[in-house]
Structure 1
Amino acid sequence: MDLFPLTFPAIDPVLVEFGPLAIRWYGLAYLVGILAGWRYAVYLARLYGGRPTSSDVESLVLWVTFGIILGGRLGYVLFYQWEAYLQNPLSILAVWHGGMSFHGGLLGVTAAIVIFAWKRELPLLKLTDIVAPVVPIGLFFGRLANFINGELWGRVSDAPWAIVFPGAGDLPRHPSQLYEAFLEGLVLFIILAVLAHKPSIRRRPGMITGVFLLGYGLSRIAAELFREPDAFLGFLFGRLTMGQILSLPMVLLGILLILWGRIRASREPRRHPLANSIGQEERNRP
């Protein structure tokens, strides 16, 4: 008996309805990602010590939330469907119809963090190092919501786990949303969480931010090899997708931040272990 291709699980995109009010899986993914990320960022701020404090991080949450929504929406408009929205500008406000860009959201969050750090006189790279490990949490839940919505499906495939998505024709396709949830969400979160718990890495401002940018960029470029390009864009510059093009600067900036962190660490004076023990004896002397 041939069990393949798999049939898309019929999951209602609306989780709960109360009259005209509907709670969708996609909105719930944003809410859970922000709340879980907020608590983890507060924990990391305490782990790092000094400023930014956990209180600073809690104040940052609202800024980041606005950055995600405004940046994500404007990024989608500018990067993906500028001409369509130019003909009907008011539709830009209709966020409930979908259309959010991660790269736009990242730019929005970055702008929010830069302004917040400037207003509060906080070390910028230390703040981004606290925020970076949080992002994969939201990505994980967001990609799962994409799968539940049956959107952003993959390219046609004969893989045993390929799925026939509603609205995507009769051919089975890669569940590319799950690939992205695994790479951009789970794997990247584990890597960043491990690094964040290493004191030697925490002493290099910008290092974790660089690993995030590099890791996400490479994950997205790889996942786009299995994801169907947007029908209104198709392939650009040969076989590249918009997602791959927007991820390339992230890879380059990530490499630069990692190299800069390593160079700074190599230039820091290293105290001899004997000097450290003598200094400790001096502090302990009555």
Structure 2
Amino acid sequence: MTYIIWNHDGMLFDLGFYALRWYSLLFALGFVICYYLLKRRFIKEQVPLEKLDKITIYSIAGAVIGARLGHCLFYDFEYYSQHLLEIFLPFQFEPTFEFIGYRGLASHGGGIAILIALIICSRKYKMDLLWIFDRLAVVAPIAAASIRFGNFMNSEIIGNPTTVPWAFIFQRVDNIPRHPGQLYEAVVYLIIFGVLYTLNKRQKKGNGFIFGLFMIMVFSARFIIEFFKADQSAFEAGMMINMGQVLSIPFVILGITLMVLKRKEAKADKETEL
């Protein structure tokens, strides 16, 4: 059987003194697209764009810091507990000093940190937290999909071995046909964006409903897709479910809880009106 050969080095261009990787471009592009879509929404709702700027700054800071800490704590704690400076500095000190950039980001860590950052932002600038969450939830899948396309360009977060016709051979990893786990996630996130974008135009429920649905859809999808992906760390080999699945469960529970509460709230409001 003929499989798809993938051997891209992940580099967009290298000028010698400066190199740009596809991952970096796609990571940034995801946030730019989200900002553009949110800007249209804020203008339509006549919300000052200064609020959007503050939300964006806190979200990006939370995403980057949280994703980095998430990788170091959840997936490679044994190493980084002995190399604390390398958590925040883009350098490797052993076995030789070398600039390596940040070679480890975990989406769950980014998600947790974004929630914390936005809680701080909402309190500091007197904005309704669920109002913020609902609007970010609609566009967040775009950023998630963009990052997964970046992972694909880097031949990372690959899938388990398979014989399906669309299997990829990531030659920079090995010569085994595998599920393109990054593409599975990216496509699913784009579908979720389409669903949320459509529902957001029609939904009449209170703030938090769309965010709750986002949490359920995204992290349920992540939980399922993890079955097709190779383990990210050696310690996951003996686990019934891997770290990505373990970390997805609380997000799904949070989403279900929020939607149930909002449904009860909407029912109570309707009975009050009657």
Question: Could you say whether these structures have the same fold, taking a TM-score greater than 0.5 normalized by the shorter chain as the test?
Answer: yes
Q: SS at the partner of 1:255?
A: helix
Shift of residue 40, structure 1, vs aligned partner? 1.1
Query: Aligned residue for 1:138?
Result: 143
Opposite residue 15 of structure 1, the aligned amino acid is: L
| Residue of structure 2 in register with 1:159 after alignment | 164
Separation of aligned partners in 2, 1:16 and 1:61: 28
**Deviation string for 1:189-224 (max 9, x for gaps)?**
1111112112414xx111011011101111101110
* Separation (CA, whole Å) in 2 of partners of 1:179 and 1:263: 35
Aligned residue number for residue 10 of structure 2: 13
Distance in 2 separating the partners of 1:55 and 1:97:
30
The AA in structure 1 aligned to 2:186 is A
How much does 1:7 deviate?
Answer: 1.2
* Structure-2-length-normalised TM-score: 0.90
Alignment partner, residue 280 of structure 1: none
8 Å CA contact retained: 2:5, 2:171: no
Figure out how many residues of one structure are paired with residues of the other and give that number. 263
Structure 1 residue runs without a partner (length 5+): 273-286
Q: Distance in 2 between matches of 1:24 and 1:171?
A: 25
Q: Which runs of 5+ in 2 are unaligned?
A: 91-99
Structure number with the bigger relative contact order (C-alpha 8 A, sep ≥ 6) is 2
Matched AA of 1:67: G
Contact 1:144–1:181 at 8 Å: present in 2 too? yes
Runs of 4 or more, structure 1, over 3 Å off, are: 269-272
1:267 positional shift = 1.1
Separation of aligned partners in 1, 2:165 and 2:77: 37
Mapped contact 1:42–1:58 kept (Cα < 8 A): no
Deviations along 1:125-171, whole A, 9 cap, x unmatched? Answer: 01111111121111111111111111110001011111111243322
Other-structure match for 2:181: 176
Residue identity matched to 2:54? S
RMSD of the alignment, in Å?
Answer: 1.8
Counterparts of 2:138 and 2:157, CA distance in 1: 24
Letter in 2 for 1:72: A
Matched-pair contact (CA < 8 Å) for 1:192–1:208: yes
Residue 181 of structure 1, CA deviation: 0.4
- Residue identity over aligned pairs, in percent, reads 30
1:206 maps to a residue whose letter is G
> TM-score, structure 1 length as denominator?
0.86
Could you tell me how far apart the structure 2 residues matched to 1:155 and 1:26 are? Answer: 22
1:243 — aligned with what? 244
